[in-house]
A and B are shown apart, each in its own frame.
Chain A
Amino acid sequence: MTDSKYFTTTKKGEIFELKAELNSDKKEKKKEAVKKVIASMTVGKDVSALFPDVVNCMQTDNLELKKLVYLYLMNYAKSQPDMAIMAVNTFVKDCEDPNPLIRALAVRTMGCIRVDKITEYLCEPLRKCLKDEDPYVRKTAAVCVAKLHDINAQLVEDQGFLDTLKDLISDSNPMVVANAVAALSEIAESHPSSNLLDLNPQSINKLLTALNECTEWGQIFILDCLANYTPKDDREAQSICERVTPRLSHANSAVVLSAVKVLMKFMEMLSKDLDYYGTLLKKLAPPLVTLLSAEPELQYVALRNINLIVQKRPEILKHEMKVFFVKYNDPIYVKLEKLDIMIRLASQANIAQVLAELKEYATEVDVDFVRKAVRAIGRCAIKVEQSAERCVSTLLDLIQTKVNYVVQEAIVVIKDIFRKYPNKYESVIATLCENLDSLDEPEARAAMIWIVGEYAERIDNADELLESFLEGFHDESTQVQLQLLTAIVKLFLKKPTETQELVQQVLSLATQDSDNPDLRDRGYIYWRLLSTDPVAAKEVVLAEKPLISEETDLIEPTLLDELICYIGTLASVYHKPPSAFVEGGRGVVHKSLPPRTASNESTESPETAPAGAPTGEQPDVIPTQGDLLGDLLNLDLGPPVSGPPLATSSVQMGAVDLLGGGLDSLMGDEPEGIGDTNFGAPPPAAPARVGAPIGSGLSDLFDLTSGVGTLSGSYVAPKTVWLPAMKAKGLEISGTFTRQVGSISMDLQLTNKALQVMTDFAIQFNRNSFGLAPAAPLQVHAPLSPNQTVEISLPLNTVGSVMKMDPLNNLQVAVKNNIDIFYFSTLYPLHILFVEDGKMDRQMFLATWKDIPNENEAQFQIRDCSLNAEAVSTKLQSSNIFTIAKRNVEGQDMLYQSLKLTNGIWVLAELRIQPGNPSFMDLELSLKCRAPEVSQHVYQAYETILKN
């Protein structure tokens, strides 16, 4: 007596038979017939022809029969809209039924019937159900609004259902709240602009209360909704975190991951010194580890997310390396992800373990996995310098196994190791050469050719080796051809006497016999170089190469920040923002982390060279020039260096500045990069973080001067009276703000206009928008006698607590002396907050400009400025507004400028200089910034700087 009997058919024709049964008088027979219909439907048979007969069975007291008919209706109503109307009456009647289960069922089913005509009839019953006394009905009705919105959005808005839905967020029943949130989120997704989920502290509080009591699925909806909220300050963020943390112990992994998302996002707002911050970090590790003991599918999603978390906050899992060790029967997709995370977590402390594991993996059966493991060894060598030696010997061991694909992978990564540590491991070249014949993959061949060309002077038979490759030149892939061309030119420059013939041959092959434009162009460039000026050719081709950066496959920081906001979603699985793949880009709102440190990760063009995209001659780990610069810049802004580094380091920045020279030595002499590398402006004095591998020792004269250039400091306004003596029992304070070599100070002039001696001075700032705070106590060395004046320079830092002020640059100060405490407030010019490394890479500038929505653009006029473009640029630069590019369009000079605030907010500017009257210029300033409220103040800063 099982349902399989419903699948058996008779000869007469199934449909005919069923029709007869459906119209039978016997209830039992009817029900059996409907069951047969449903059974056919589930396996995809078309039983729509029975529509009228099935609908006839709808008017019944039998709940099961009713449900079955409803199931049928949902499936086929769309194909038979006219017939579906027949069902409406029953629905309307059922919505009035005393049994809440039936009311709910009716409203639920009606919503699933995707027929326009029916939706009109649905409105009234739905309105009633949304206000039903039974929460079960209300929660079903809430979902129904979302269904209806999907069918006819306009109708839902006109009928005011959205407002009713919003009211349900305050419902007394947590399940209703959860469903209302879910419905609103879904509607909001197709309506990106509408402000449906208007979150405020009150509604957040309600959600947090409902969070504890609703079902696991409801918790997911609520947590995802919470993640979209931006708390007003760190205290609120902390209190939300405290209430969300218990969710980390939930058995449902989706709840856990959604909670992780909320915590990761709000953590951004917490100060790192807070005890709570540390506690939170500790609490995050165990649930993430636990996710890895779940089913493989869950593990996969968890691992993709952990990959993001590890990049954002490596400290969370730094001690958990072992849980990522691969088990041999893990599915391949889990293995590959684990491997990736292992490399990210590799450090000097655990490198021995990691290497031992990787070596083990290299003997596994799965070819893809083995390849990736070999590559991982190379990445370890590049990442952890101390381990390079061991990695190389491990790779050599692997080459000895003679397993073809292992050897090839090993050679590819050894080439990268050579680039990272030039002239260190050449002893292995001989071993590599032995395996020349077994290389059949283009990438490995190209790598080997590069090695031969690069070390041609140390390989006796380099010419023979390269010649052997040349024989099948036309059968090689482009990658190999390009590499071979360059390698032979290198060889020629190193051993000109013996190899003239060879170079002639390759040049003619490349230029005359090839129809690949890249290859041809490069061939011609070399040819002309060699024929016009061999010395120059030598300088170009054999120039020192920039070192490759550590982790080129890191996700670019702005993207990473955005993805952190999408933890647990498809975006986090694909590591792409939803705008990149969500159908039609509909309903995509860019999310960003809360502002405190979010924007301190600089923006950059989205396509950092991903590993594995072979680009011409550049081997794939080594990014193209522009990207490399970008990467190095990023190192400064440091995602690997945990947390918000800028605020704390801005004080010492000046000192470090002078050393920061690595950058331009890299910009100068990359031979093969074709894009222009000079920005037409003095090199930015990028602060090299100590330990960042940019060779900070390389401070040449040029750098020093540019460092000195910034020494002159930004514009300083004359002192104004902040606190008149009248108001402060005889103490008069006037002052101004300065910024010099990276440090901000408040220059104060205290005058005693009273008749008694003043002592015991102290100063305090209220919380303010940029966290300005005194870096040292106010020191007035001697007591201030009547009519005496002292000048004090009070150093400031920007690590104080942050609170948005109105106006933004308002600073409230309290000064105490032996007489009383006095308060005053002053406005500080924004340019004291412009940091020295505010120069953006050109490509990054372009990408960021495009990326910032147009509504964030603000335009201002600066009239009657007496300077020309050159002077404007110089003047602004001394206040850390950097000109990135200059253009002349129809007689007007356009300057493109960038600056960065101490809290990491970037401001991009376009300055149009148009001649107004003969001696004065009119400037038109367009500012773009992710935090548009600063624009007004930046404009004021521009004006002050330029007019003085």
Chain B
Amino acid sequence: MIHSLFLINSSGDIFLEKHWKSVVSRSVCDYFFEAQERATEAENVPPVIPTPHHYLLSVYRHKIFFVAVIQTEVPPLFVIEFLHRVVDTFQDYFGVCSEPVIKDNVVVVYEVLEEMLDNGFPLATESNILKELIKPPTILRTVVNTITGSTNVGDQLPTGQLSVVPWRRTGVKYTNNEAYFDVIEEIDAIIDKSGSTITAEIQGVIDACVKLTGMPDLTLSFMNPRLLDDVSFHPCVRFKRWESERILSFIPPDGNFRLLSYHVSAQNLVAIPVYVKHNISFRDSSSLGRFEITVGPKQTMGKTIEGVTVLSQMPRGVLNMSLIPSQGTHTFDPVTKMLSWDVGKINPQKLPSLKGTMSLQAGASKPDENPTINLQFKIQQLAISGLKVNRLDMYGEKYKPFKGIKYMTKAGKFQVRT
């Protein structure tokens, strides 16, 4: 099971270590540093690194490497999932997960880690329960604690931990009872040179923020549940009812949680909301290249596309670019060769474009690689797959909750090849 955890910042300092079994010398991280050095970028450090006596499994989040040390045969996904859970918990506790914040709250971090694993076995990883055991620091609480001498460690057995609904604590009380659901879809797509779609898929999630008193039992139904054939549920969802009736029936955790994530990959169901027209050409003889891109809306169901950003890694041979955008602002970093253009909203009447020239190294041959264009955008009030929530009902409690649902479509890994 998980032996130890090291937190390492991007400059290679170990700033926190936690051992759940015997102490493992931090020199084990040398193997990790070696791998880090070999990888050109932090993202490319392999997640599983063997050393003579241990295995190092790492994730890279918020510019911090979370490196778990294991000694025996342990499912790596188990470890990686757990590390993600650690990151999520920190974020949940402190708002952000960063080196200074972790250092500022080192004792809480340590206490939380101790509660999360026992002898390497996960103990309490639901944030609802952790928060009962160890209260997250707030400014008010710190002040109160200092004055009264009370602590931020709960002395009650967390109620949820042994019930059939371990994700929900008992005795929840709100004056305003509300349940909000966000349907967020991300489109991952690869579009080829000619503008036709090579692959496109939608990663959707339904994130919920539920603040309801007592033990509410909710059911959520969809207009078109047939879209959802590849789903992963929060443990609270009753799988049997989904199988038989295609409705989500659950007792929600308290607060924010991800109810469901789904995947739509059938090509015909994935509409591509934007197109990019591009003309990027180098000539053999000249040291100047032409660059021109235009972004326009495609299948948007009448909604506006906002927050458009175009990112492109230009070939190494490009020295500089002189471009004029019809709207928004652009930058080109001559060191990393990264072009970024912050477009903003797309006005279908006047399509945004970016035109100009690229200067190449004098005398160099034309670059071998074609730049790929990475697109980011947002569309409010639209789930591009067409998923629609039909209704939300509550049983088990008498009050009438306030309900809300929001849809949003975003670009995930949306790439256009040139």
Residues of A within 8 A of B (CB): 1-4, 6-7, 27-28, 31, 35, 38-39, 42-44, 62-65, 67-68, 71, 75, 78, 99-101, 108, 111-112, 114, 134-136, 140, 143-144, 146-147, 150, 173, 175, 179, 182-183, 186, 189, 213, 215-217, 220, 224, 246, 249-254, 256-258, 286-287, 289-290, 293, 295-298, 300-302, 320, 322-323, 325, 327-329, 331-333, 353, 356-357, 360, 363-365, 401, 403, 568-571, 573-574, 578, 581-583, 587
Cβ distance B52 to chain A, nearest Cβ, rounded Å: 9
Q: Is the CB of A143 within 8 A of B121?
A: yes
Q: How far is the CA of A302 from the CA of B75 in the complex (A)?
A: 11
Q: Which residues of A contact B15 (CB under 8 A)?
A: 43
Contact (Cβ within 8 A) B368 A75: no
The 21 sampled A-B contact pairs (Cβ below 8 Å) are A1-B146, A4-B100, A31-B151, A42-B16, A75-B19, A136-B162, A182-B121, A189-B73, A249-B231, A249-B242, A257-B77, A258-B75, A293-B188, A300-B48, A301-B48, A328-B372, A328-B415, A331-B44, A360-B192, A570-B48, A581-B50
CB neighbours (8 Å) of B78 from chain A are: 217, 220, 254, 568
Chain A positions within 8 Å of B335 at CB level: none
Q: Does B417 contact A (CB under 8 A)?
A: yes
The residue that A43 contacts in the complex, of B16, B50, B114, B156, with Cβ under 8 A, is B16
Check if B142 sits within 8 Å of A1, measured CB to CB: yes
Which of B175-183, B198-206, B323-331, B356-364 touches A?
Answer: B198-206
- Distance of A130 from chain B, by nearest CB (Å): 15
A403 to B316, CA, bound (A): 14
- For the complex formed, measure the closest distance between the CB of A727 and the CB atoms of chain B, giving whole angstroms: 52
Can you list the 3 inter-chain pairs with the closest CB atoms, starting with the nearest? A286-B230, A64-B151, A2-B104
**A62: nearest chain-B partner, CB-CB:** B151
What are the residues of chain A within 8 A of B415 when measuring CB–CB?
A: 327-329
Give the nearest-CB partner of B202 in chain A.
A293
Q: Which of B257-265, B342-350, B393-401 contacts A (4 or more CB under 8 A)?
A: B257-265
B155–A99 CB distance below 8 A: yes
A215 in contact with B166 given A1-B142, A111-B119 (CB within 8 Å)? yes
B111 contact set on A, CB distance < 8 A? 64, 67-68, 71
**Docked CA distance A258–B234 (Å):** 17
Q: List chain B residues, Cβ under 8 A from A256.
A: 232
Contact of A3 among B48, B108, B261, B263 (CB under 8 A): B108
B residues in contact with A42, CB < 8 Å: 16-18, 106, 109-110
Please tell me if B105 contacts chain A, counting CB pairs below 8 Å: yes
- Decide: A297 and B203 in contact? CB cutoff 8 A: no
A279, B359: Cα distance in complex, Å: 58
- B106 touching A6, Cβ below 8 Å: yes
For residue B263, which residue of chain A has the nearest CB? A290
CB-based contact B153/A67 at 8 Å: yes
Is B272 engaged at the interface, CB distance under 8 Å to the other chain? Answer: no
How far is A254 from B2 in the complex, measured between Cα atoms in Å?
14
Interface pair A253/B77, CB less than 8 Å apart: yes
State in angstroms the CA–CA spacing of A135 and B46 once bound together. Answer: 40
Known: A215-B166, A331-B43. A297 touches B55 (CB 8 A): no
Which residues does B use to contact A, with CB under 8 Å?
Answer: 1, 14-23, 26, 39, 43-44, 46-48, 50, 53, 55, 57-60, 71-78, 80-82, 84, 100, 103-111, 114, 118-119, 121-122, 125-126, 137, 139, 142-143, 146, 149, 151-157, 161-162, 164, 166, 188, 190, 192, 198-199, 201, 203, 229-235, 239-240, 242-243, 258, 261, 263, 265, 313, 315-316, 368-370, 372, 374, 413, 415, 417
| Docked pose: A328 CA to B372 CA in angstroms | 8
Q: Are B164 and A568 in contact (CB under 8 A)?
A: no
Contacts of A4 in B (CB 8 A): 100, 103-104, 106
Inter-chain CA distance A99–B137, complex, in Å, is 25
Known: A38-B110, A43-B17, A111-B119. 11 other contacts (CB 8 A): A71-B111, A143-B118, A143-B119, A220-B75, A256-B232, A289-B263, A298-B80, A328-B372, A331-B43, A357-B198, A582-B72
State in angstroms the CA–CA spacing of A327 and B188 once bound together: 9
Does B149 contact A28, Cβ atoms closer than 8 Å?
A: yes
| Nearest-neighbor residue (CB-CB) of B72 within chain A | A189
Instruction: Give bound CA distance, A328 to B80, whole Å.
Output: 23
Do B77 and A298 touch (CB < 8 A)?
A: yes
Q: In the complex, what's the smallest C-beta–C-beta distance from A408 to chain B, in angstroms?
A: 14
Distance between A473 CB and nearest chain B CB, rounded to angstroms: 33
A298 touches B72 (CB 8 A): no
A-B contact count (CB 8 A): 258
- Return the contact of B164 from the options A213, A302, A329, A581 (Cβ within 8 A): A213
B380 to chain A, nearest CB (A): 23
Which B residues are in CB contact (< 8 Å) with A251? 232-235, 258, 261
A573 cross-chain contacts in B, Cβ below 8 A: 48, 76
Report yes or no: A327 in contact with B368, Cβ–Cβ below 8 A. Answer: no
Q: Are A333 and B46 in contact (CB under 8 A)?
A: yes
Least CB distance, B271 to chain A, in whole angstroms: 17
Query: Which of chain A's residues has its CB closest to B25's CB?
Result: A44
CB contact between B73 and one of A108, A322, A570 (< 8 Å): that residue: A570
User: With the chains together, A357 CA to B192 CA distance in Å?
Assistant: 10
Task: Give bound CA distance, A473 to B114, whole Å.
Answer: 64
Q: Do A363 and B370 contact each other (CB < 8 Å), given the known contacts A35-B107, A114-B22, A323-B201?
A: yes
Provided the pairs A3-B103, A325-B199 are in contact, do residues A71 and B21 lie with their beta carbons within 8 angstroms?
no
Contact across chains for A38 and B107 when beta carbons are under 8 A apart? yes
Contact B374 A329 (CB under 8 A): yes
In contact, A253 and B81 (Cβ under 8 angstroms): yes
Closest A-chain residue to B311, C-beta based? A329
**Nearest residue, chain B, Cβ from A571:** B73
CA distance A831 to B188 in the complex (A): 58
Which of A112, A136, A360 meets B417, CB within 8 Å?
A360
| B188 in contact with A363 (CB, 8 Å) | no
CB distance from A174 to the nearest CB of B (A): 9
A contact residues around B58 at 8 Å (CB): 297
B248 CB to closest chain A CB, in angstroms? 12
Report how far A899 CA is from B55 CA in the complex, Å. Answer: 42
B272 to chain A, nearest CB (A): 15
In the assembled complex, the Cα of A327 lies from the Cα of B59 at a distance in Å of 20
Determine the chain A residues whose CB is within 8 A of the CB of B192 once the complex forms.
356, 360
Q: Which residue of B lies closest to A215 (CB)?
A: B166
B398 to chain A, nearest CB (A): 28
Chain A residue nearest to B122 (CB atoms) is A217
CB–CB B149/A401 < 8 A: no
Q: Which residues of B contact A401 (CB under 8 A)?
A: 368
Q: Which residues of A contact B190 (CB under 8 A)?
A: 325, 327
Instruction: Give Cα A266–Cα B138 distance, bound, in whole angstroms.
Output: 51
In angstroms, Cα B413 to Cα A1, docked, is 41
A2 to B101, CA, bound (A): 9
B230 → chain A, closest Cβ, in Å? Answer: 4
Residue of A nearest to B151 (CB): A64
Q: How many angstroms between the C-alpha atoms of A114 and B105 in the bound complex?
A: 28
Closest to B143 in A: A1
User: How far is A183 from B118 in the complex, measured between Cα atoms in Å?
Assistant: 11
**In the docked arrangement, what's the CA distance between A78 and B23, Å?**
10
CA–CA, A32 and B154, complex, Å: 18
- Residues in A whose Cβ lies below 8 Å from that of B230: 286-287, 289-290
A10 to chain B, nearest CB (A): 19
Expressed in whole angstroms, the minimum distance between the Cβ of A667 and any Cβ of chain B is: 39
A583 touches B53 (CB 8 A): yes
Which chain A residue shows the least CB distance to B147?
A28
Contact A364 B162 (CB under 8 A): no
- B199 and A301 within 8 A (CB): no
Residue of A249, A256, A322, A568 contacting most chain B CB atoms (<10 Å): A249
Are B198 and A322 in contact, CB atoms less than 8 angstroms apart? Answer: yes
Give the CA-CA distance A189 to B1 in the complex, in Å.
Answer: 11
| Residues of chain B contacted by A35 (CB below 8 angstroms) | 107
- Establish whether residues A39 and B107, one from each chain, have CB atoms under 8 Å apart when the complex forms: yes
Given contacts A28-B149, A289-B230, contact A570 B55 (CB under 8 A): yes
In contact, A295 and B233 (Cβ under 8 angstroms): no
A287 neighbours in B (Cβ, 8 Å):
230, 232
Partner of B106, one of A39, A357, A568: A39
A773 to B105, CA, bound (A): 71
